[in-house]
Amino acid sequence: MVNSSNQPTTKRRHWVASVRRIYRGDGPYWAMLLPLLVFVVVVAIYPLLFSFRISLFKYRLTDPDQVQTFIGLSNYLRAFLDPAVLNAIKVTLVYVAGTVIVELVLGLGLASLLASEMRMTRTIRAFLLIPMALPPLVVGLVWKSLYNADFGVIPYYLKQIGIGVGRGPLAELGWAMPAVILIDVWQWAPLMMIIFLAGLKSLPVEPYEAAYADGATRWDRFAFITLPLLKPTILLALLLRTMQSFKVFDTIYATTGGGPGSVTTVLNFHIYTVGMTFFDMGYAAALANILMVIIAVLSIVYIMLLERQQL
């Protein structure tokens, strides 16, 4: 709309135009997002809210009368004063750090090694996915037998090369955590491999050609081109795997039951004990929310790094 005075009209026109642009620009995007959003909200909102709500109550799942007593934040207070919970948090952090770092390195290495599209490497890649196909609980049970000090395969060979195993990798205080981490690495490093593989496949070719022309070695190319370009993928892999690793349960349940002592009692396992052995649902829900907050904090750190990347 034209006016005698140009400035206000132009500004208003810009504003209108930009709103329209956003709307028109993003309308289709909203349409593509909405189905999932609606689905998730409908399905997950009640359970999420239930979990938040019940953490403020005292509630025994198996109580025939299903009594729920409101106790405010005392579940949370109890958690912060509970040495078992604090230990579980510590153990969980160690576990997550160990698994994620090793899996990251191993996954990246495997993806690089097996990146070519030869028949053989493709087949090897497919076979490497087998560990993921087994339920973590079963994986734990199988590895428990492999680790058995008396007739397990691994201690047998360790003893052959002169390494004593004492009570076994899962029963010795110093070995239990590394042993359990190894099981997780066995199962999930291939997933990292896949994520990195997809990332590698979408890297542009030009930088490599330029580097080769400049005489860069394979290692140089990897360190100075591949790694920086893969940063978003690396962060993505870190993010997803960290969140998963925080929630580990089956493996611990099947192998050590949180022992020996409580050196492998991760928080999610402790939550299960509280909820399923003591049926103290209110406290379990509070602990679950605390776990979620810890994961959220870490994730926010990752995301901030990711966001800076996307710019």
Partner 1 sequence: MNSKRWRKLSFLFVGVMILGLVSCTAPAAVAPPAAPAAGEAAPVAAVGLEVCKGQNLVLASMTDQYIAAFRALIPKFEEASGATVTMDELGYVDLYQKLIADFVGHTANYDLMTVDIVWSGEFGQNKYTLPLDTFMERDQAELQLDDILPVAWTLGEWQGAHVAYPLAGYANVLNYNKDLLAQAGIEPPKTQEELLAAAEKLTDAAKGTFGIALLGAKGSAVAQDYMSWVQQHGGSILDDNGKAALNTPENVEILKFFGELFKYAPPGATDYWWDQRETAFRTGNVAMMEGWSIARAGYENPDLSSIVGKADLTSAPVKAGMEPQYGFGGWGIGINADSTPEEQACAWQFIKWLSSPEIQKDWLRNDGAPIRRSTMTDPEIVAAYPWMPLLLESFEKGDGDYRPRIPQYSLIQDALGTHVNAFLVGQETAEQALEAAQKQVDDNWQ
Partner 2 sequence: MMNKTSPLEKAVMAILIVLAITFFMMPVFWLVTTAFKFGREAFAIPPKWLFFDFTLRNFQEVLATSKTGQFILNSIIISTGATVLSLVLGVPAGYAIARSNSRLLNLSAYFFLLLLMVPPVAMLIPFYLIMRDIHLLGSYAALIILDTVFDAAFVVWMMRSYFADVPKEIEEAAFVDGASHFSAFLRIALPLSIPGVVAAALYVIIYSWNDFLFALMLTSPQTKTIPLGILSSFSSVEVSWGKMAVMCLFAIAPALIISLFLNRYFVQGVTMGATKG
- Residue 169 burial (CB count, 10 A): 26
156 or 177: CB nearest partner 2 = 156
Contact flag: residue 277 with partner 1 (CB under 8 A): yes
**C-alpha to C-alpha distance for 310 and 23, rounded to whole angstroms:** 23
The answer to whether 206 touches 266, Cβ cutoff 8 Å, is no
Sign of CA dihedral 131, 132, 133, 139: positive
Contact with partner 2 (CB under 8 A): which of 133, 162, 164, 214? 133
Find residue 58's DSSP bridge partners.
69
Strand, helix or coil at 53?
A: helix
109 or 259: CB nearest partner 1 = 259
Contact flag: residue 260 with partner 1 (CB under 8 A): yes
Contact flag: residue 71 with partner 2 (CB under 8 A): no
* Spacing of C-alpha 289 from chain mean position: 16
**Residue ranges with strand state E in the chain:** 57-59, 68-70
**Distance in Å, CB of 172 to partner 1, minimum:** 8
At residue 54, what are phi and psi to the nearest 5 degrees? -70, -20
Contact flag: residue 58 with partner 1 (CB under 8 A): no
Number of residues that bind partner 2 (CB under 8 A): 101
Which residues, numbered 132-151, are part of the site for partner 1 (CB under 8 A)?
A: 137, 144-145, 148-151
The answer to whether 200 touches 112, Cβ cutoff 8 Å, is yes
Contact flag: residue 10 with partner 1 (CB under 8 A): no
| Contact partner at residue 249 from partner 1, partner 2, none, CB < 5 to 8 Å by partner kind | partner 2
Strand, helix or coil at 51?
A: helix
Contact flag: residue 208 with partner 2 (CB under 8 A): yes
Contact flag: residue 64 with partner 1 (CB under 8 A): yes
199 or 258: CB nearest partner 1 = 258
Contact with partner 2 (CB under 8 A): which of 57, 95, 246, 283? 246
Q: Label residue 187 exposed, middle or buried (CB < 10 Å: 0-12, 13-18, 19+).
A: buried
3 or 212: CB nearest partner 2 = 212
Numbers of helices and strands, H then E, in the chain: 14, 2
**Distance in Å, CB of 13 to partner 2, minimum:** 20
Structural tokens at position 296: 């959220």
Contact with partner 2 (CB under 8 A): which of 1, 2, 36, 118? 36
Question: First-to-last CA distance in the chain?
Answer: 36
Contact with partner 2 (CB under 8 A): which of 17, 86, 138, 227? 138
Which parts of this chain interact with partner 1 (CB under 8 A)? Answer: 60-62, 64, 137, 144-145, 148-152, 155, 165-168, 170-171, 173, 256-262, 273, 276-278, 280
